[in-house]
Structure 1
Amino acid sequence: MTRLANKDWMAENCQLACGTCTAPPAPLLPVTSTASSAFPTQGGFFQTTTVSSGPTTTVTIPPSSLTAVSSCERVKDSIAQASELMSISRLINPVEDNFGRNMLSIDDITRSVPTGCVPQLSDVGVDCRKSLCYHLMYRTLDGTCNNLDKPMQGAAFRRFNRHFPAQYDDGRGEPISSLNKSRPSARHYLIYYTSSKFQFNNMMMQWGQFMSHDMSKTTLQPSANCKTCDPVPSKCMPIPIGEKDPNLGFKSKQCLKVSRSAPICRVEPREQLNENTAYIDGSMIYGSSLKDLHKFRDGRTGFLRVTRFNNQNVLPFDQSKCANKDKCTASFTAGDIRANLFIGLSSLHIMFAREHNRIAQKLTELNPTWSGDRVFQEARKIVGAQIQNVLYKEYLPKLLGVSFDKVIGPYKGYDTNVDATIANEFTTSAFRFGHGMIEEFYKRVDLSGNNITHGGFFFGDGVFKSGKILFEGGVDPIIRGFMTTAVKRPHRMTPAITEKMFGSTDLGSLNIQRGRDHGIPSYNKMRQFCGLKFATTFDDFGDMILDRNLRAGLARNYNTTNDVDFYVGSMLEDPVIGGLVGTTLSCAIGEQFKRARDGDRFYYENPGIFTRSQVEEIKKSSLSRIICDNADNFELVSQDAFLLPGSNLTPCNKISEMDLTKWRAL
């Protein structure tokens, strides 16, 4: 019997949101559910009554003769109660109807790169109403229909936004300083500050990278196409190496070969593609395309794929490429291919894959009748909310210090007029500040705080080295090492990334060159954007760059104040009080994260996305709790995973945890 002839299969899988089949029979009598002032009642089919336990919302279930999409439209009219209403009225549909919709995958983009440009995700077939019952409860993987009125905002495989028009030497696409030579070689950047230590630990660096990969990924052209030190139009923009360069290895090569980001087809001036969604949604875990999901999800179950290896659950990998620790070239499979860049990053990916599966297992036990699709979507939704809570309540206040309240501030609700799309200035320059936090050496410690047998590792030895996790004690010693080592101030890069990164690349110079590749405005213009004085002399930078020697260095290397690269100038600023970055970076970073929160309908504090009781549980989550729940053997932890513990370690059983029984079906 085919699936089309199987009425039982159809009853379970028919796309209710299409409006072509009716919702399951619903009770005709009003159903009362608890509400609170955090979820205000609205018009439509709601009435409010008062009982001894407090205010309640009486919900009249739409008659079963209505199509599901019509019923969901009535829920949409009272969206602040959407989570309760969808559950009560049995309208929840965990499968999106993608029929007729154009979708892209990472493989599609990769295949397009050799043509010289990459396509954008088309809005053809994007009809949020068709799958409204799905969209009210769950995110799409590619970010479409987050904003139900503007469905392409924040979606993956779309161009970055800009605060200023792209700045190219020819006005169309030639990199800044490639034709008129108005700026020094990117290799001559000036980051003189010595590093200093804070009460914050190295998890600040690692979480920042994890978040960066949630929000953006730029499509690059193959570096193999750049074979010489001559520029190749639209493809290669090498960084020349001067005769006085102290790195003899670089000097012998005469240049650092840099491939340009792939341009979007038929767009001028040149623009770049974001392969990820703009939202804080865990896309580095789940990917940003339904066409890619099969690589990460375990079939139609509620779980993510994991591999059991050496008594630990890790991300999937090709075991034939990992015979032993000395011959291990395997790469982990994750929602973002960059998961293998550094074993600290891989460790967080593994932790959150385990967290998804831990939650999925609990939801399955609480709701044995739920389908695998329902379990998967609910677990994904919870994990995304946990990430948001850690980001906005733990990480960003430390990064931005006293600037946090000004540039982000308290949550005031979802705003349909806010576009969360990632700004090119943010992803290409501002949020690359974290490269300056990378250390030369990382320790790995055991339960007692002592170095493990295998010892620590130099940064370069942790790049693309999955074997160090698989054969040298797993993720626990790496995470402990991060949590017990003070973070490095980001204003000066270590030789590990300026002289040795991937063997032949200076990451600092690459950051500057990438800004020129993308037409990023100058430091002076970004100062203006942030409300600072437009500098006409280099001493005018003194309000944010206090060291006169640094200002003098800028004057020696740049012709005018308008030529200073945004990345260079912003990294030289003194940090704000209580934070790690300066005023201009605080502004550019905070502005993006505020839009990513306020323009996200699925931000967890937005009424209707979760029930009131579920929101209270999510607020209990923390990175320390996630580590305790998913590490192989963690007994003591800092209550705040981003602070050095000192002598104040807390037993894991004393760290607040979420009560997942709040997700038991009504």
Structure 2
Amino acid sequence: MSTAPQGRAPWFVQLHDRLAVAVDQRVGWQRLPKPLALLTLVGLRDNLRRKNLFDTGSYPSRDLPEVGPPNVQNLTSRTADGTYNDLADPRMGMARSRFGRNVPPDRACPEPEPGLLSPSPREVSRALLTRHAFVPAESVNALVAAWLQFMVRDWVSHGQGTMDRPWSIDLSDDDPWPTPPMLVPRTIPDPTRPDGNDGLPPTFLNENSPWWDASQLYGNNLAEQRSLRTGQGGRLRVPDGPLFPDDPDKDPAAVPGFWVGLAMMHLVFLLEHNAICDALHDAYPTWSDEELFQRARLVNAALLAKIHTVEWTPAVLSHPTTVTALHTNWYGLLGERLHRLLGRLGSGELLSGIVGGRTDHFGVPYSLTEEFVAVYRMHPLIPDDWSFRSAADDSLLQEAGFRELTGWHAYDILGKHTLTDLLYSFGTSHPGLVTLHNYPRSLQEFQRPDGKLMDLGAVDILRSREVGVPRYNEFRRQFHLRPAKDFHTLTDNPVWAEELRRVYDGDIERVDLSVGLFAEPRPKGFAFSDTAFRVFVLMASRRLNSDRFLTRDYTPQVYTPTGLDWIENNTMTSVLLRHFPGLRGSLRSVDNAFAPWTVAGSPQ
């Protein structure tokens, strides 16, 4: 079986869910008054929980690593590799377990070649993604882009691929690519799947633990984690130079995707971990290095989850209904003020939020999904051109292209400028809008640290096809949305509609998922599409619901009273000001640290 039994919901819940889907399809949740819109989103989420969670762990397996019974330390500590979050199923959510799915098996099989390569991913990238003029997302600042990659590094990774039988993409005569054909590594096959045709779609391993456990800071195995620690006071090493100065092979600059924004977020929350350790040491002076480290990790990871839930996501989905819904995920309908005053009222999520309530996998073992990965491919957020300015007076320090911010070049930028000035520069500039014709030029001709040249726009298209993520219209059907009838109903831009028609040879069913997501009209306040939002409706809350340390064990006994106070009383703004007080003038008038900051010297 591909999905675990979830039980039959009461008739009135089923009726509400059916009404929610019908109203959404006919009217659209975003056009409803907020109370009705919230009820509709609750119904959509309940429907998705019942119909869009599929367990690939139930597919045939071999050579799985042994995981023994839990011990007493597992009750109050996250493990390095994600095991023992669910004590009854300790393998659930461990690093190098399978990605799950949000679509049924018969809709998750990749097309055979040559259909899988049609139309050419490179031609899709050139014709539909290429940025001719930067389109900013003016409601947010560029920290949004840095934060997103910082989170993705915690949750998901397919690895760097294999050049054993690489994908070969033929190029048109006018393509300037220097070395035809374009060769793209294949996603690494799942070594735990037995050989043979079992009639089920392929599976792939997630190199990271999918829990919200800050594994991008703490590592995904015990050896790596130990190398990151000082061994004193629970603290992590905070380097002045390379993030892993004693082992160049582990340095993230050697990994594709490393850039200044990612390094900045990494350094901020290394500092935050150590500040939490100091607070815990003051409260519990007899605790060992290990006890301080483990409790500080819990606190830091939960703070990251809170910032993402109630600050980052409301900034990029700033429709009034979604802002309320996301705060409800954390605090419940009673809101933050009553949450602080009264605490939890029962274990249900509606009144008091998911955090601190009961753990619930909704009948399917927890994982993150291939569809989740696909909608998080938001490279248009990255500008090609950057200006670094002084936080003191907004004077220009340096202008640079994105290539100068990546790989080993990132350390040149970090060495030239203070983190205060770098953070200020991000906070006072805009990311790109996630839309067609706004893909970074520097990522369409991106040189990896190993020297390989890649068009990441083409790779994004190919990866979704390769792992069997449905194309746009089928994806909408599977997420209970009406498919686009034609290119003019897909987008409200007639020029784009004609471009789409040409690239896809008039066949609306061939439009790739990310292309459709970038082309469709967005709800008010959204930096990305409503179709992508459906995956967030399901998976954003699931990351909280399934995690023992964010639900039933989010308690003073596990986190300590000091730890819980730290989470509840801090925001992204307070984190930044704790470590970089020179940002106070620019952050003073900002309610959300991911909104554009005040330019230094501007009237307050």
Please give the range of the TM-score, normalised by the shorter of the 2 chains: 0.7 to 0.9
In the TM superposition, what is the alpha-carbon distance from 1:634 to its structure 2 partner?
Answer: 4.0
Hey, what does 2:99 align to over in structure 1?
160
CA contact (8 A) 1:141 1:286 kept: yes
Hey, what does 2:180 align to over in structure 1?
254
Secondary structure of 1:436's partner? helix
Hey, what does 1:562 align to over in structure 2?
509
For residues 621-632 of structure 1, the aligned pairs below 5 Å read 621-631=570-580
Hey, what does 2:300 align to over in structure 1?
383
Measured in 1, the distance between the counterparts of 2:116 and 2:243 equals: 46
Hey, what does 2:267 align to over in structure 1?
350
**2:190 equivalent to 1:264:** yes
Secondary structure of 1:575's partner? coil
Measured in 1, the distance between the counterparts of 2:572 and 2:256 equals: 18
Hey, what does 1:457 align to over in structure 2?
400
Hey, what does 1:63 align to over in structure 2?
none
Measured in 2, the distance between the counterparts of 1:181 and 1:123 equals: 33
Identity %: 23
Measured in 2, the distance between the counterparts of 1:582 and 1:407 equals: 17
CA deviation profile, 1:479-520 (whole Å, cap 9, x unmatched):
111100022212121212123454732111110011122121
Secondary structure of 1:184's partner? coil
Amino acid at match of 2:503: N
CA contact (8 A) 2:428 2:599 kept: no
Measured in 2, the distance between the counterparts of 1:380 and 1:537 equals: 50
Measured in 2, the distance between the counterparts of 1:388 and 1:514 equals: 27
CA deviation profile, 1:401-453 (whole Å, cap 9, x unmatched):
336356895341333334441111111x21012x0111011221223243454
Hey, what does 1:281 align to over in structure 2?
213
Measured in 2, the distance between the counterparts of 1:339 and 1:636 equals: 35
CA contact (8 A) 1:159 1:274 kept: yes
CA contact (8 A) 1:304 1:356 kept: yes
**2:140 equivalent to 1:200:** yes
**2:370 equivalent to 1:424:** yes
Measured in 1, the distance between the counterparts of 2:567 and 2:445 equals: 43
Measured in 2, the distance between the counterparts of 1:469 and 1:166 equals: 46
Hey, what does 2:596 align to over in structure 1?
644
Hey, what does 1:509 align to over in structure 2?
458
**2:281 equivalent to 1:364:** yes
Measured in 1, the distance between the counterparts of 2:400 and 2:427 equals: 16
**Cα distance 1:594–1:397, how it changes in 2: closer, same or farther (>3 A)?**
same
**2:398 equivalent to 1:398:** no
In the TM superposition, what is the alpha-carbon distance from 1:472 to its structure 2 partner?
Answer: 0.5
Secondary structure of 1:138's partner? coil
Secondary structure of 1:254's partner? coil
In the TM superposition, what is the alpha-carbon distance from 1:469 to its structure 2 partner?
Answer: 4.3
Hey, what does 2:525 align to over in structure 1?
578
Secondary structure of 1:262's partner? coil
Amino acid at match of 1:187: R
For residues 174-573 of structure 1, the aligned pairs below 5 Å read 176=111, 178-180=113-115, 183-189=118-124, 190-191=128-129, 195-223=135-163, 232=165, 236-245=166-175, 248=176, 250=177, 252-267=178-193, 269-299=201-231, 301-308=233-240, 315-318=243-246, 333=251, 338=255, 341-402=258-319, 404=322, 409-411=328-330, 412=349, 413-418=357-362, 419-427=365-373, 429-433=374-378, 435-451=379-395, 453=397, 455-464=398-407, 465-491=409-435, 492-500=438-446, 502=448, 504-539=453-488, 542=489, 545-558=491-504, 560-573=507-520
Hey, what does 2:3 align to over in structure 1?
none
**Cα distance 1:474–1:512, how it changes in 2: closer, same or farther (>3 A)?**
same
Hey, what does 2:75 align to over in structure 1?
136
Amino acid at match of 1:410: N
Hey, what does 1:125 align to over in structure 2?
67
In the TM superposition, what is the alpha-carbon distance from 1:360 to its structure 2 partner?
Answer: 1.5
Hey, what does 2:343 align to over in structure 1?
none
CA deviation profile, 1:365-424 (whole Å, cap 9, x unmatched):
332210110010111111111101110010111223336356895341333334441111
In the TM superposition, what is the alpha-carbon distance from 1:296 to its structure 2 partner?
Answer: 1.1
Secondary structure of 1:238's partner? strand
Runs of at least 5 residues in structure 1 that lack an aligned partner in the other structure: 1-118, 226-231, 320-329, 651-666
In the TM superposition, what is the alpha-carbon distance from 1:342 to its structure 2 partner?
Answer: 0.4
In the TM superposition, what is the alpha-carbon distance from 1:185 to its structure 2 partner?
Answer: 0.4
CA contact (8 A) 1:157 1:273 kept: yes
Amino acid at match of 1:315: L
**Cα distance 1:161–1:340, how it changes in 2: closer, same or farther (>3 A)?**
closer
Give me the TM-score of the superposition, normalised by structure 2.
0.74
In the TM superposition, what is the alpha-carbon distance from 1:291 to its structure 2 partner?
Answer: 3.2
Measured in 2, the distance between the counterparts of 1:363 and 1:558 equals: 58
CA deviation profile, 1:556-590 (whole Å, cap 9, x unmatched):
22253332211211121222211111111111233
CA deviation profile, 1:298-334 (whole Å, cap 9, x unmatched):
236511123346xxxx733259xxxxxxxxxx68746
CA deviation profile, 1:234-275 (whole Å, cap 9, x unmatched):
xx1022221133xx2x0x422322001111125264211101
Amino acid at match of 1:185: S
**Cα distance 1:182–1:318, how it changes in 2: closer, same or farther (>3 A)?**
closer
Hey, what does 1:58 align to over in structure 2?
none
**Cα distance 1:167–1:220, how it changes in 2: closer, same or farther (>3 A)?**
farther
CA deviation profile, 1:628-665 (whole Å, cap 9, x unmatched):
22238544342422111236999xxxxxxxxxxxxxxx
CA contact (8 A) 2:162 2:188 kept: no
Secondary structure of 2:576's partner? helix
**Cα distance 1:307–1:647, how it changes in 2: closer, same or farther (>3 A)?**
closer
CA contact (8 A) 1:570 1:582 kept: yes
**Cα distance 1:243–1:383, how it changes in 2: closer, same or farther (>3 A)?**
same
Secondary structure of 2:431's partner? strand
Moved more, 360-369 or 481-490: 360-369
Secondary structure of 1:443's partner? strand
CA deviation profile, 1:152-189 (whole Å, cap 9, x unmatched):
322211010012256899x6xxx536234672100122
**Cα distance 1:167–1:420, how it changes in 2: closer, same or farther (>3 A)?**
same
**Cα distance 1:340–1:498, how it changes in 2: closer, same or farther (>3 A)?**
closer
Hey, what does 1:66 align to over in structure 2?
none
**Cα distance 1:241–1:165, how it changes in 2: closer, same or farther (>3 A)?**
farther
Secondary structure of 2:293's partner? helix
In the TM superposition, what is the alpha-carbon distance from 1:459 to its structure 2 partner?
Answer: 0.2
**Cα distance 1:337–1:649, how it changes in 2: closer, same or farther (>3 A)?**
farther
Amino acid at match of 1:591: L
RMSD: 3.1
CA contact (8 A) 1:201 1:644 kept: yes
Count of aligned positions: 490
**Cα distance 1:352–1:612, how it changes in 2: closer, same or farther (>3 A)?**
closer
Measured in 2, the distance between the counterparts of 1:197 and 1:534 equals: 27
Moved more, 395-404 or 569-578: 395-404
**Cα distance 1:120–1:600, how it changes in 2: closer, same or farther (>3 A)?**
farther
CA deviation profile, 1:6-63 (whole Å, cap 9, x unmatched):
xxxxxxxxxxxxxxxxxxxxxxxxxxxxxxxxxxxxxxxxxxxxxxxxxxxxxxxxxx
Question: Larger RCO: Structure 1 or Structure 2 (Cα < 8 Å, ≥ 6 residues apart)?
Answer: 2
Runs of at least 5 residues in structure 2 that lack an aligned partner in the other structure: 1-60, 331-348, 350-356
**Cα distance 1:420–1:300, how it changes in 2: closer, same or farther (>3 A)?**
farther
In the TM superposition, what is the alpha-carbon distance from 1:349 to its structure 2 partner?
Answer: 0.7
CA deviation profile, 1:519-559 (whole Å, cap 9, x unmatched):
211111211233211345444xx1x5222332332222225
**Cα distance 1:354–1:452, how it changes in 2: closer, same or farther (>3 A)?**
farther
